[in-house]
A and B are shown apart, each in its own frame.
Chain A
Amino acid sequence: MPILEIAAKYTTYAVMAVILVFALGVVTLRNLFHCALCLAAALIGTAVLYVVLQAEYLAAIQILLYVGAVVTLVIFAIMLTEHLAGKTVRQNNSQSLPAIAGLLGFVSLLTALILKTPWPVTPTALQAKVLVMGLGKALMGDYVFPFEVISIVLIAALIGTVVIAKKDQPEEKA
């Protein structure tokens, strides 16, 4: 069905364009709340791209973690910071020259890396489809050590928050 395939192709390009527009919105809009909403939209767009590339699991996790948790946290922070929510703020400062220099350096490094890496496109690689079961087996088998290390990091973070949020000790009896 070539017509459907062509339609899918151009829809994908359209989705990419929309993601770029929203990504630009994140860094140029002057209202922080609008920026956060643009970020959410861009992340949802990325999830759509994952679906197109047949990585449904990644798409669902992307929405669950980034849109459902991270963006919500960002918005929460913006709303709790009283003086930021309604105001429009400048998103740039006068450091644009060093920033451009740094950006150019990073882009050239990245380009060099991309050009140097061989990208083997084999039929088996194109056919490969990672299912949830495979991911689970990999996490519990080959990659069990990094998985556990990450969980230790999370535990440390949890304990840290408890320590920070703990009731302050009364230093002296009044």
Chain B
Amino acid sequence: MTITIPPTIRGIEFSADMLFVTAKAWILTLLGRFLPDWLIVLASITISGVVILCLGPLIMMYLTLLERKLIGRIQNRYGPNRVGKWGLLQPIADGIKMFTKEDIVPAKADKVVHLLAPIAIVVPALMIFLVVPFGERMTAVNLNIGLLYFIAVSSITILPIFMGSWASRNKYSLLGGMRTAAQMISYEIPMTLAVVPVIMMSQSLSTNTIVLTQEGSYDMNWFIFTPWGIVGFVIFFLCATAECNRPPFDLPEAESELVAGFHTEYSGMKFALFYMAEYMNAFTLCGIAVTLFLGGWQGPFFPSWLWFSGKTFVLICVMIWFRGTFPRFRVDHLMGFAWKFLLPLTLINILLTALWQFTSNLAAWLWSILILGVSLWTLVKLNRTFVPEKRHYLLES
């Protein structure tokens, strides 16, 4: 018995580039033979949804393994290597352990909010996956406001953290929650402003269009190869690291001060959900950074989805490298870095992009480097450490 190729996908050539797109089209045409039209629409949504719902946890599981392996190597040890070949089954063992653990809820906790927080935190983390372009024609929902959607949805992440920290009725949780809120609100502003040059140059908020504008010769006209692109990328990546509370910006869960921060009172699967959201956020933020500055799935020779995952993998490895290398920030340094250094630099970067849009030649390169150098020097000078004058308060008698 031979399977005839359905007519609708004859137009799509069977190339490695279109592997997943073709697979979906094939399933849909197969279903289309015995299902009504409206069910096909639902099936199309369901396929994308199920893929994302499976992809998120799977990515989280293997990111933990990757992180433990890499950190192990950085610290001159092996990392997990007992469960399965190269420890490949370690995440599954961890999952079983998490599921069988006792779920402890503090006696004085606000039960409902305590339960809702870990559930609510996974939702925005998964929702961001919708606008990440995984490859050519592989964006789940091609929103024309994709980037704005990403910024809006990632700003909700603060709320569940607040819920968890408040509902635990624990001083470490509350302190961690306060720190998280302060840090995430502060770093959201330079992150959003670092994105503005990309929007200016591609004249679109759609993640798909932003990738398409970085095509060029050999698909290598990436935004990072421009002066404003480098600055924007560095700022965005630093802010992304701070947004998902990873070292060296992991003050909200600083083990040495706060036990575990906002998830001190969580155990078992609830704790795992917080962890899952954190790793999925790390992945999506790296994915968005790739989309905005590193040309997304653009690249010569290899299939588009391979380029995207390769670039994202490199960025995640850099994040892990940060964790293995840098010590933690101090609270006031952390806030000062966002407000006094990154924020002015992003504003200068926006002006620079406007200049670049009118003249982009060698002279513009030199001008940009000059402006950036001067502003960097000024900012560093203005941000130099100084010992504040000691305040004296007169005792009221």
Contact = CB atoms under 8 A, between A and B. Distances in A.
Nearest to B206: A132
B152 A63 contact: yes
Contacts of B166: 33, 75, 79, 85
Interface string A6-44: 000000000000000000000000010110010010001
A3 interface: yes
A131 B144 contact: yes
A49 interface: no
B143 A68 contact: no
B152 A61 contact: yes
Interface of A: 1, 3-4, 31, 33-34, 37, 40, 44, 56-57, 59-61, 63-64, 67-69, 71-72, 75-76, 79, 85-86, 131-133, 167, 170, 174
A56 B155 CA distance: 16
Q: By CB atoms of chain A within 10 A, which of B110, B144, B148, B178 has the most?
A: B148
Contact of B163 (A3, A37, A133): A37
Given A57-B145, A85-B166, A132-B205, A79 B174 contact: yes
Given A34-B113, A79-B166, A131-B144, A64 B181 contact: no
A4 to B, nearest CB: 5
Contacts of A85: 166
Interface of B: 37-38, 41-42, 110, 113, 143-145, 148-149, 151-153, 155-156, 158-159, 162-163, 166, 169, 174, 177-178, 181, 185, 188, 203, 205, 391-392, 394
A55 to B, nearest CB: 10
Nearest to B192: A64
A71 B157 CA distance: 12
Given A33-B166, A132-B145, A71 B159 contact: yes
Nearest to A75: B162
Given A60-B148, A68-B156, A72-B158, 16 more contacts: A3-B38, A4-B38, A37-B163, A56-B149, A67-B155, A72-B162, A75-B162, A75-B181, A79-B162, A79-B166, A79-B177, A79-B178, A85-B166, A132-B144, A132-B148, A174-B392
A108 B5 CA distance: 65
B41 A4 contact: yes
A69 B181 CA distance: 11
A58 B3 CA distance: 48
Contacts of B391: 167
